[in-house]
Amino acid sequence: MPAAVVLGASLAYLLALFGVAAWADRRAAAGRSVIGNAWVYALSLAVYCSAWTYFGSVGRAASGGIAFLPIYLGPTLAMVLAWLVLRKMVRIAKTWRITSIADFIASRYGKSRLLAGLVTLIALAGVVPYIALQLKAVAGGWAVLTGPASDGVALSPSAVALIVALVLAAFTVAFGTRHLDTSERHEGLVAAIAAESVVKLVAFIAVGLFVTWGLFAGPGDLFERALAEPALARLIQPAADAPFAAGSWFTLLLLAGLSVLLLPRQFQVMVVENVDESHIRRAAWAFPAYLLLINLFVLPLALAGTLRFGPGADAETFVLALPLAAGQPALALLAFVGGLSAATGMVIVEAIAVSTMVCNDLVLPALLRVRRFATRDPGAWLLPIRRVVIVGLMGLGWLYGRVAGETAALVSIGLISFAAVAQFAPALLGGIYWKGGTRDGAFAGLAAGALLWAWTLLVPAFARSGWLDMALLEHGPLGLAWLKPEALFGLSGLDGLSHAMLWSLVANIGLYVGVSLARPPSAREASQALLFVDVFEQAADERVFWRGRARVDDLVALLARFVGAERAQALRPAGAAAFADPALVQRTETLLAGAVGSASARVLVASVVDEDRLGMADLRRIVEEATELRQRNRQLQELDRLKDDFMSSVTHELRTPLTSIRALSELMRDDEQMAAAQRTHFLGLVVAESERLTRLVNQVLDLAKIESGHAEWRSVDVDLGALLEQAVSTTAALFAGRGAVVELLKPAQVPPLRADPDRLLQVLLNLLANAAKFVPAGSGRVRVRLQVKAASLAVEVQDNGPGVPPGQQALIFEKFRQGGDGSSRPPGGTGLGLPISRRIVEHFGGTLWLRSVPGQGACFGFEIPRVHKNEETTP
Amino acid sequence: MLTGPASGQRLVALCALGLLVFNGPLLRLWLGPLALFALWAALITALAWLLERGGGD
């Protein structure tokens, strides 16, 4: 195919990518974001499928059958837990404006610059070869497509790789370094990545469909013909007794499962660019479904390619070579564009993620040490630095690919990268579930893991590339056999990857846990541990682990240097307070962390404030205070709700009598011929309802006064016996009207009681009126009994009414809850008598109770101590 | 409803089941590509069912 066509198609595709990104950015600016969607989020996660998937899987399948699958089954299993693990990571990152995996780990362990730097270095070591691999894959595809007899435009693969690297650097700079605050979303970029995921899926499936149904008569035919070849039959259906590399399979599963969370680009799209936590719910299954789809035709392509080109052919080019050989150059071009999109998506996101880390965690800390730089305007430098780092990273990738040349196969570089980032797992996952992890533990684990990774994986790869003496692999350094990189401490019989993972993870986890346990965490580590592990249990402002003095002006000025004056001023609290409260200091630091990373933000904030060193005791106190505050807030909310309920009940209760008064009055106004007797009856009802209304209003006011503590209480010696007699005689007419008999039992001598006689009379009258209401007409019997106890007086009012069912016994003391059902209840009650009585009795230190067996009447009673605690406080 | 610890336990159980099915001795039973893809699809379907029918929590 003419090179000009391929070049034109590639540049047109990349231009379209710019278009998509610019369009999405414009939409976002207009407030109509395209990435606020779970499907776009799920597609963006598919940046996992790089050129390594696109070309490399077929290569792996051609030699090992289904051995390529764990790379995709691992992420599937990891995503099963995404709703639990990833959601926690997203919540933490959003709360603290964390912008990279290095920042995440450093922030967890007390915002350690050391840790941030180490994680960045490990990521860098893993990512540069990986980028080289993508560029190389594109260049390789180019070579296949243009063929040896190139016309006109003669470009070496290396030149192609350089062009791609430069275009991608331009794209990444244009859409990945728009804002200084990296915790802001890169709308255009994410939209472009999602679009790329569609392109590579469509292209790969198109080739798969063409090969399966175009070159063969469907999968049945293809598999049948493959089974006829013994070498291929082994790939499809291994014999039951064939040796199966279970260890290697499990290693790949674990490695891929961890990488899907820990690769810098995955962390970027999954955590940093996440718009809405709820999107994880769909992405958790849609992303594995994508992985399944893109792998459906891997084995068919591997089989078809081997059948077509013979067992010795380069299987990694089958995706392009098959359509080309079948005389379908257009399809081959589509396949190339698909591979290009797989490579570019990975390179762009990885470059942004790593450039953020390098800038914030390596370059900036070094620059802040230089006094001259720190006092100037470091904020203005950040974006240029990030851009230079991106270009530098692309250049490094290209250079590495050029130097490494054809020495290592595609798949092995990918796996070496996976193994590097897997070293983050203990510190990161341990850090969000275990509060005991410390900075030293994380550092020791990471450092040991990285060293062992380099020794057991990188050194062998370098040796095989001819950069190191092979004798190192065969005999160990200086002839020390126990240090042989591929059989460390004599451990042999494992494949290289499993051997490396075993040693590096054992050392990593062992040191992380061991060193963490050797020394208790410092206050700063412990506070960050609390914020991370318990992220779902509190809002950011509820726990502020900072004490000291800070001037608002200093904080705003610091922030303005990094996030702009406008956003900095927005932080300024209302009012003219000169000194900032701890929550404001924490907010400043969090905002700053979004721009420069948490470790540098900590240093910058510390440089403008005067802070106290917190100890573990302070920490415990802060946590206790926060918990207390939380409880109090909850109580206040509950009170607020009760008040609302009360108000709506009151209005409801007021409306009932008002409605009948109004209805009756209107009837009388409109009907001038109404009989006098009828009118008198109506007027009687109006008066009764008005009285009820008055009573209700009075009781509401009374209750409000008592509850608010504004009621006036007298405290004098009260003769409860005499008070009872007065109450019984006051209600005598009421009982007589119902034909009921009242019996009063009291001792001859009743000691005096310190209380307010008017209030007590109110309670007694209420209980008696209640009894009068519920006794059966004509045969009512009410017994009132006063008992003198050692330190208190008790009164009981027993009736022979229907009693109160057990389910209602607690309710009738609540406001507006009246006993009985609407039809059997005597009219005139307000539902406030008992609640008021109970509060009065309680005011005098007593209790009001109800004992009732349905069918045997109800017994209301109260007991009041003769001397109560409120006596002294109110004159 | 996907709320509270029960939903989390279901996800963990599904992950454990996946690890079991795609590993070790059991894997030998379905080393053919067709069976593996079918199991894979079943796992994704189960996951989608667990997650999508859950309300907001």
Query: Tell me, what's the pLDDT at A78?
Result: 93
Query: Average of pLDDT values for A425-434?
Result: 91
Which two three-digit tokens encode residue A81? Answer: 């837990």
Average pLDDT over residues A5-11: 84
Radius of gyration in angstroms for the set of CA atoms belonging to chain A, rounded to a whole number: 40
CB contact under 8 A, B52 and A84: no
CA distances from A523 to A438, A527, A597, A797 (A): 11, 6, 20, 63
**Taking phi first (over 0 means left), then psi (-120 to 50 degrees means alpha), and beta for anything else, what does residue A784 get?**
beta
Please report the pLDDT score of residue A260 as a whole number: 92
Q: Please enumerate residues of B whose Cβ is less than 8 A from a Cβ of A.
A: 7-8, 11-12, 14-15, 18-19, 22-24, 27-28, 31-33, 36-37, 40-41, 43-44, 47-48, 51-52, 54, 56
Residue-wise pLDDT tens digits, A390-423: 899 888 888 888 777 666 544 577 788 888 999 9
Residue A353 to residue A273: CA distance in whole angstroms: 11
Percentage of chain A lying above the pLDDT 90 cut: 13
Residue A4 and residue A247 in contact, taking contact as beta carbons nearer than 8 Å: no
Q: Which of A199-203, A614-618, A626-630 has the largest mean confidence?
A: A199-203
Q: Residue A67 above 50 pLDDT?
A: yes
Average pLDDT over residues A143-171: 74
Q: By the 8 A CB rule, do A361 and A102 touch?
A: yes
Could you read off the pLDDT of A557-568 as tens digits, one per residue?
A: 778 777 777 777
Binary contact (B52, A281; C-beta < 8 A): yes
> pLDDT tens digit string along A441-452?
999 999 999 999
The shortest C-alpha distance from A282 to chain B (Å) reads 7
Give the mean pLDDT of A71-85: 91
Quick one: how many helices (H) and strands (E) in chain B? 3, 0
Measured in whole angstroms, how far is the alpha carbon of residue A491 from the centre of its chain?
42
| Contacting residues of A for B3, CB less than 8 Å apart | none
Contacts of B36 in chain A (CB under 8 A): 66, 69
User: What local confidence, expressed as pLDDT, does residue A429 receive?
Assistant: 92
Lowest mean pLDDT among A270-274, A429-433, A771-775: A771-775
Distance from CA of A81 to the nearest CA of B (A): 6
Instruction: List CB contacts of A59: < 8 A, sequence separation 6 or more.
Output: A302, A314, A315, A316, A318, A409, A410, A411
pLDDT, mean of residues A854-867: 86
Across B11-23, average pLDDT: 86
Q: Which residues of chain B does A292 touch, with a Cβ-Cβ cutoff of 8 Å?
A: 37, 40-41, 44
Segment A695-727, tens digit of pLDDT: 888 888 888 888 777 878 888 888 888 888 888
Distance, in Å, from the CA atom of A647 to the CA atom of A688, rounded to the nearest integer, reads: 24
Sign of CA dihedral A371, A377, A383, A384: negative
pLDDT exceeds cutoff 50 at A873: no
Contacts of A278 in chain B (CB under 8 A): 56
What SS3 class is residue A717?
A: strand
Residue A24 · residue A193 · CB < 8 Å: no
Amino acid making up residue A706: I
Q: Report pLDDT for A42.
A: 92
Between A83, A244, A292, which is nearest B11 by CB? A83
CB-CB under 8 Å, B15 with A80: yes
Q: Cβ(A101)–Cβ(A287) under 8 Å?
A: no
pLDDT for residue A242 is more than 70: no
Q: Which of A65, A84, A253 sits opposite B8 (nearest CB)?
A: A84
Residue listed under structure tokens 């045997």: A856
Does the distance separating the beta carbons of B24 and A77 come in below 8 Å?
no
Average pLDDT, stretch A180-194? Answer: 76
What distance in Å separates the CA atoms of residue A71 and residue A260, rounded to the nearest whole number?
Answer: 10
Q: Report d(CA A325, CA A319) in Å as an integer.
A: 11
Which of A66, A278, A282 lies nearest to residue B31, judging by beta carbons?
A66
Kindly state the DSSP code that residue A579 receives in the 8-state scheme.
B
In order of A127, A241, A374, A655, the CA distances from A662 in angstroms are 82, 95, 79, 10
- In whole angstroms, what is the distance from residue A269 CA to residue A192 CA? 12
pLDDT at A125: 86
Q: Which residues of B touch A286 (CB under 8 A)?
A: 48
For A809-827, what is the mean pLDDT?
A: 64
Please list every residue in chain A whose beta carbon sits closer than 8 Å to the beta carbon of residue B11: 80-81, 83-84
pLDDT tens for each residue of A213-233: 888 888 888 888 888 887 777
Distance from CA of B38 to the nearest CA of A (A): 10
Q: Which range (A464-468, A528-532, A708-712, A857-861) has the least confidence? A: A464-468
A774: tokens are 């519920």
**CA-to-CA distance for A649 and A83, rounded, in angstroms?**
43
- B3 pLDDT above the threshold of 50: no
pLDDT at A425: 92
Percent of chain A with pLDDT over 70: 92
State the nearest Cα–Cα gap between B42 and chain A, in angstroms.
10
Mean pLDDT (whole number) for A197-206 = 93
Chain A partners within 8 Å of B51 (Cβ): 83, 281-282, 284-285
> Locate tokens 């620059």: which residue?
A367
Residue A737 has pLDDT above 50, yes or no: yes
Mean pLDDT (chain B) is 76
- Global ipTM: 0.90
Distance from the Cα of B39 to chain A's closest Cα (Å) equals 11
Instruction: Give the number of beta-carbon pairs within 8 Å between A and B.
Output: 79
